[in-house]
Chains A and B, each alone.
Chain A
Amino acid sequence: DQQVKQNSPSLSVQEGRISILNCDYTNSMFDYFLWYKKYPAEGPTFLISISSIKDKNEDGRFTVFLNKSAKHLSLHIVPSQPGDSAVYFCAASDGGSQGNLIFGKGTKLSVKP
């Protein structure tokens, strides 16, 4: 049973517009959430994170929103750029000392010029 779900395998957005990537989770013990970006033939790279004590975290063009009651988080990219085209993974941690991450299946974002 998937604990972290990304229900949209792909998303296509026009350059300059907003990209919204969604993620749902089932485990209420998760208290730290991360987004990773992955280009083909490269390893995932950390993008942005949010602790469960917050509902929003912003870093430049990237903002992550967390709705704990709905067990839902989203990544907003504004404005979207062609270089943002990649696979985006949502991940969650239960905050234990091990730091194990549970990943979603990813959403492939295509930003068209």
Chain B
Amino acid sequence: NAGVTQTPKFQVLKTGQSMTLQCAQDMNHEYMSWYRQDPGMGLRLIHYSVGAGITDQGEVPNGYNVSRSTTEDFPLRLLSAAPSQTSVYFCATSRLGGNTEAFFGQGTRLTVV
């Protein structure tokens, strides 16, 4: 039982390149989300999904796209990477219903040069 799996763990991109951060869960959770963590900023919500085919924006969505074609997968796409997107990215899942804890992946450390 892997829980929440993120790939890759590390990535270096050049400005303007595109890439997809992968997130897969085997917990059968409806809710999935992406956060970024920057020094002194805590975790900020980028995008989230309450089920297959449904996505919505969080606090800092600009520069990122998401899709949810299956319950298990929730990839995060950077269409044209910028140095401001250098961060650690975390995927999280939870059951729907509000009062429930979220389970996080190990994170992807992304550097844009």
What is the interface of chain A, defined by CB distance below 8 A to chain B? 4, 6, 9, 31-32, 34, 36, 41-46, 49, 51, 89, 91, 93-106
Contacts and interface: CB of A to CB of B under 8 A. Distances in A.
B48 interface: yes
B80 to A, nearest CB: 26
A99 to B, nearest CB: 5
B44 to A, nearest CB: 7
B102 A46 contact: yes
Interface of B: 4, 31, 33, 35, 40-45, 48, 50, 56, 58, 90, 92, 94-107
A32 B99 contact: yes
B43 A44 contact: yes
Contacts of B31: 98-99
Is the contact region of chain A dominated by helix, strand, or loop, or is it mixed? loop
Contacts of B42: 4, 6, 89, 103-106
26 contacts: A4-B42, A6-B42, A31-B98, A32-B99, A42-B106, A42-B107, A43-B90, A43-B106, A45-B104, A46-B102, A93-B98, A93-B99, A95-B99, A97-B97, A98-B56, A98-B96, A99-B98, A99-B100, A99-B102, A100-B45, A100-B58, A101-B92, A102-B45, A103-B44, A105-B41, A106-B42
